[in-house]
Amino acid sequence: MSTTPTFLQPAARAAGYRPSPVRDFWEVSMQPGFISLAGGNPDLSVLPLAELGATASRIITERGMDALQYGSGTGTPGARDAAARVMAAEGNPVDPSAIQITAGSQMALELVVKLLCDPGDVILAEGPTYVGALGVFAGMEAEVVHVPMDADGLQPDALEETIGRLRSQGRTIKALYTIPNFHNPTGITLSAERRPRVVEICSRAGIPIIEDNPYGLLAFDGSTLPSMHQLDPENVIYLGSFSKIVAPGLRVGWAVAPESLRRPLQLASEATTICASVLSQTLIEEYVLGSDWQGILDKARALYRERSAAVQEALREHLPSGTRWSEPRGGFFTWLDLAEGSDCHAVLDAAIDAKVVFVPGTAFYSGPDRGPGAPGISQLRLAFSLEDADTLREGVKRLAAAIRG
């Protein structure tokens, strides 16, 4: 005599959670012979695994009663110190007490959006932007309005114009979400000149900036730029991650928020996961405070530099005219603009036949996924972080054939 269970009448926000093409390609790309230019996984071959294993063993044996127990809601003191060290290495000193540790920086973003956005509120974001952020925004029923980019990143004039337009429509803008360094998916970096301007526009408009910075230490030449957080700590919420500089499988990230948001962040974090894995936090503490993590990062940077160069060379050699692409100076990604009228989904079908995968451009925009007007329909993202240079060259060659059709 059961009636239909109520879980078939989900919350409005449930409709917002859509499959991530990045993760859905995982299975396809695991098939033998496939080359994946899809997922943005770091190359972990540089890690001293035996040493890390010995460290984990020591932590559990000597400090296991703490490392395997519930931990502080703000994060362990050691993990907060480690996050502060990483920020200092990038030229962004903060006090460890300002740091909220989370189970990955994805979760830090989720908490911030949870605390900021009521349904219908607007989040500004680069167009294109990180697909995982779009999932968070949709899940909290926030509407994304994209601000265009060029080779120097987010366009300040367009930002100003967008804010004015939305406000004249009576919309509530809750934040600008931006990835200033080696942006996902374009690989583009917001120029040093534009940073103070973007910060000033948002400060004047009373719009907080969510600065997502997982790739800041991954410049091919090791250089760094001042964070937006350094420029205006009272109006910038900074998100950091150990995933790209240590290991994503540990799931530890952090947020640095203005004072008034710190306690709410802690409470929301406790309500979501109680705390991040204490074992992971302790391992990161030992790795960052007790090893030459920057020397290891140098090796990773050299790998990514070589791989990006291989992709650029192969793109120049194989891609048909009419195709343009970004030239990243760091990070994991290159962004392609196909000839006008191209359909990235059709190219993907052909690419899968040729045993290469990438992420179609439409994944990185809010809006319709298909059809001639869909944003990103003639664009695509290539990741060069995980495959070696020869494989990448072969992948681009296959991609070029798929584009030619």
Instruction: Output the smallest distance, CB 267 to a copy of itself, in A.
Output: 4
| 39 vs 24: CA distance, rounded Å | 10
Closer CB to a copy of itself, 189 or 362, in the complex: 362
Rule CB under 8 A: is residue 203 a binding residue for a copy of itself?
A: yes
User: Does 206 participate in binding a copy of itself (rule CB under 8 A)?
Assistant: yes
Centre a 10 Å sphere on the Cβ of residue 322 and count the other Cβ atoms it contains. Answer: 12
Distance CA 62, CA 27 (A): 39
Report the 10 Å Cβ neighbour count for 151.
10
Is residue 81 within the footprint of a copy of itself (CB under 8 A)?
Answer: no
Binding test (CB under 8 A) with a copy of itself, winner from 222, 226, 264, 375:
264
Residue at 265: amino acid letter: L
Q: Is the peptide bond before 320 cis (omega within 30 degrees of 0)?
A: no
Q: By CB under 8 A, what part of segment 13-42 binds a copy of itself? A: 13-14, 17-20, 23, 26, 39, 41-42
Among residue numbers 143 through 182, which ones bind a copy of itself (CB under 8 A)?
A: 172-175
By CB under 8 A, is residue 132 in contact with a copy of itself?
yes
* Size of the residue set binding a copy of itself (CB under 8 A): 100
DSSP state string for 355-370: TEE-EEGGGGSSS-SS
Q: Tell me how far, at minimum, the Cβ of 126 lies from a copy of itself, in Å.
A: 19
Distances (CA, A) of 245 to 80, 169, 275, 299: 16, 42, 21, 11
Q: Is 44 in the site for a copy of itself (CB under 8 A)?
A: yes
Interface with a copy of itself, residue 245, by CB under 8 A = no
Q: Is residue 380 within 8 Å of 347, Cβ to Cβ?
A: yes
The distance of closest approach from Cβ of residue 262 to a copy of itself in the complex, given in angstroms and rounded to an integer, is 11
> Site for a copy of itself (CB under 8 A): which residue of 117, 383, 396, 402?
117
- Stretch of residues binding a copy of itself (CB under 8 A), selected from 80-88, 152-160, 248-256, 342-350: 248-256
DSSP 71-125: --TT--HHHHHHHHHHHHHTT----GGGEEEESSHHHHHHHHHHHH--TT-EEEE
Q: Interface with a copy of itself includes 49 (CB under 8 A)?
A: yes
Residue 151 or 271: the one with the smaller Cβ distance to a copy of itself is: 271
Pick from 28, 31, 64, 317 the residue near a copy of itself by CB under 8 A.
64
Question: Nearest CA to 357 among 311, 313, 296, 402?
Answer: 402
Backbone region of residue 33 per phi and psi (left: phi > 0; alpha: psi in -120 to 50; beta: other values): left
Within positions 319 to 378, which residues make up the interface with a copy of itself, using CB under 8 A? none
Instruction: Please list every residue from 221 through 240 that binds a copy of itself, using CB under 8 A.
Output: 234-235, 237
